[in-house]
């Protein structure tokens, strides 16, 4: 039986990809993921503002006390430049070391803020050895004067800019809140996206009613959150010339099967890895094989997209009738 799948033009040994999460910044964790069966890893997002804010804060800390006293013109040695100079070096080095340490593909994730930031960092990531770049474009458009089209154009512009300067495949990780996601997905693919990751979870802060403060702690995703990506992957599978990755809410092997049935090329998870540890991946793979064996599937291609909108005999199932059926089935509270 073959679990091989194609994602962004890369051949993966199975459809399980460890999505971007903070522990992925550590080599030992990445090795653990590989050992547990992950077919690729996405490194945590390199945030342009974060890097620049950090370097700016550090520069401020350096500068604030520099040339302040006759006894000390500074309080730190000059930073010793690494292979990429001094800046996003640690991240780039992580890419390089992850490539050296792992035999599975390493995908870098980038979240830029300026045009120059997107393109510069994308080039650096490619130079550092990233086999693909995932553009993390999901931001809350807090500027309420922007209309939806402007927000979309901005993302398309970023994608096109990055596409121009790198050769490696580029995926776009989207949030679900777009007026016409299907149309936008189509435009992204036209603009050069090799794949779409559905979806990114937006930061949704809670409010602490004692301290009267926002709590930005991000809870792990819950299984029921998988329904939205499942819907959209079903709708888009087979209709775009791009890979599709299901992300958010994947919690069990069954969810992997569901995503594949809907048409995902790969299934991404980080919450489950955080919740259960990397070994959950190997269990899922076993379960996936067992499920396929029981149904005599020989490879992933056979089952992928069986439940996609394209392949279902009754396409309307995913449209209004489906909605009505779900409403009808809902158990009303007594």
Nearer of residues 67 and 167 to other proteins, judged by Cβ: 67
Minimum CB separation from other proteins for residue 253, in Å? Answer: 32
Nearer of residues 166 and 268 to other proteins, judged by Cβ: 166
* 132 vs 109: CA distance, rounded Å: 9
* 86 vs 67: CA distance, rounded Å: 22
Unique residue bearing structure tokens 């890369």: 10
Minimum CB separation from other proteins for residue 86, in Å? Answer: 5
* 253 vs 73: CA distance, rounded Å: 59
Query: Rounded to 5 degrees, what angle do the CA atoms 82, 41, 288 make?
Result: 165
Nearer of residues 210 and 327 to other proteins, judged by Cβ: 210
Nearer of residues 125 and 307 to other proteins, judged by Cβ: 125
Q: Mapping DSSP to helix (H, G, I), strand (E, B) and coil, where does residue 317 land?
A: helix
Question: Contact positions toward other proteins, by CB under 8 A?
Answer: 26-27, 48-49, 51-52, 55-82, 85-87, 89-90, 93-94, 97, 113-114, 116-117, 120, 211-213
Minimum CB separation from other proteins for residue 175, in Å? Answer: 23
Nearer of residues 1 and 90 to other proteins, judged by Cβ: 90
* 138 vs 231: CA distance, rounded Å: 19
Closest CA to 87 of 61, 117, 111: 117
Minimum CB separation from other proteins for residue 38, in Å? Answer: 21
* 199 vs 110: CA distance, rounded Å: 15
Nearer of residues 70 and 219 to other proteins, judged by Cβ: 70
Minimum CB separation from other proteins for residue 260, in Å? Answer: 36
* 6 vs 243: CA distance, rounded Å: 8
| 8 A C-beta contact, residue 266 and residue 17 | yes
Minimum CB separation from other proteins for residue 66, in Å? Answer: 6
């Amino acid at each position: 039986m073959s679990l091989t799948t194609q994602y962004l033009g890369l051949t993966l040994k199975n459809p399980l990809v460890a999505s971007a999460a903070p522990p992925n910044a550590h080599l030992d964790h990445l090795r653990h993921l590989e050992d547990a069966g992950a077919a690729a890893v996405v490194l945590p997002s390199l945030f342009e503002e974060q890097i620049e804010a950090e370097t700016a804060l550090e520069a401020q800390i350096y500068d604030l006390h520099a040339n302040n006293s006759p006894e000390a013109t500074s309080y730190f040695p000059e930073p010793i430049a690494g292979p990429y100079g001094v800046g996003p070096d640690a991240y780039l080095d992580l890419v390089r070391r992850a490539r050296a340490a792992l035999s599975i593909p390493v995908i870098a994730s980038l979240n830029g803020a300026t045009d120059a930031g997107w393109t510069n960092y994308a080039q650096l990531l490619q130079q550092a050895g990233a086999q693909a770049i995932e553009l993390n474009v999901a931001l809350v458009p807090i500027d309420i004067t922007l209309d939806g089209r402007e927000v979309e154009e901005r993302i398309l512009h970023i994608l096109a800019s990055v596409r121009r300067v790198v050769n490696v495949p580029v995926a776009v990780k989207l949030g679900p809140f777009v007026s016409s996601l299907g149309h936008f997905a189509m435009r992204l693919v036209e603009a050069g996206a090799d794949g779409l990751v559905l979806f990114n979870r937006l930061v949704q802060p809670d409010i602490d009613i004692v301290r009267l403060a926002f709590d930005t702690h991000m809870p792990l995703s819950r299984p029921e959150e998988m329904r939205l990506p499942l819907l959209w992957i079903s709708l888009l599978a087979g209709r775009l010339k791009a890979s599709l990755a299901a992300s958010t809410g994947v919690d069990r092997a069954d969810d992997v099967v569901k995503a594949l049935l809907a048409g995902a090329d790969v299934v991404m998870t980080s919450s489950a890895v955080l919740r259960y540890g990397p070994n959950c991946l190997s269990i899922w793979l076993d379960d996936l094989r067992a499920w396929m064996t029981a149904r005599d599937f020989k490879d992933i291609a056979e089952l992928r997209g069986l439940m996609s909108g394209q392949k279902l005999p009754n396409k309307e199932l995913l449209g209004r009738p489906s909605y009505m059926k779900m409403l009808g089935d809902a158990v009303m509270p007594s």
